[in-house]
Structure 1
Amino acid sequence: MLAAALILGLAGQTEPFAGELKERLASPIDATLTTTKRPYDLEVCLADAITMLGIPTVLRDGPDNLVIGAASANVFNATVSVIRTGEGSQILIRVKGKGFNDRVTSRVRQCL
């Protein structure tokens, strides 16, 4: 009985789903920036800044934070996480492929 319960318990444990977006957010951070602007003041400019890498999607991450992803062909090529801080926002940039890091970071800086 105990063995059957243990097997059923282990079979019922599953890893949380991690799709393409979660994988991109788990990848190393390519650049970290700070600004005195709040997340909602940045979202349109930041979404526009990463359009060179795909169609932007803006998602809320809790009441104060944003995740902006640029995707093409079901692949998130870049994400920009905007985290509200007491003084403004912290921006975390992750880009797939190293050739675009400087260009994306430069465009994001223009929003600050």
Structure 2
Amino acid sequence: MAKQPPSKRSSSDGKVVAIKAIGSKRNVTTRLGNVTVSGQRPSADVVRSNVAASTAALARVGIKLIKPGVHLPPKKGVPRYSADENNPGVFIRRLDGKITTGRLQNGQFVEAE
């Protein structure tokens, strides 16, 4: 078996790594910061297939990206807090179906009387 040149090469300081395909006729090189990657250029069919897949994925996620906020399903025994828009410094606690207002004192929720 004949020796083949190594496929990984690095500089003396070890920061730059180049990975090259051996025996490829359609190589393309991409550099991002200190990393250089060389490989075979994809065929037009592969590019078209990847574009179609990424377009479909973007269409699926696009609807969720434009909707503001986060949905947090309620869990038993876990309180959910929000700020009262009309009263500064007052918080609203939702716990197991019960809604109470109060303030934070020393990092603890204290119900209003």
Between the two structures, name the one with larger relative contact order (CA 8 Å, sep ≥ 6).
1
> Is the TM-score greater than 0.5?
no
Larger Rg: 1 or 2? 2
Whose helix proportion is higher, 1 or 2? 1
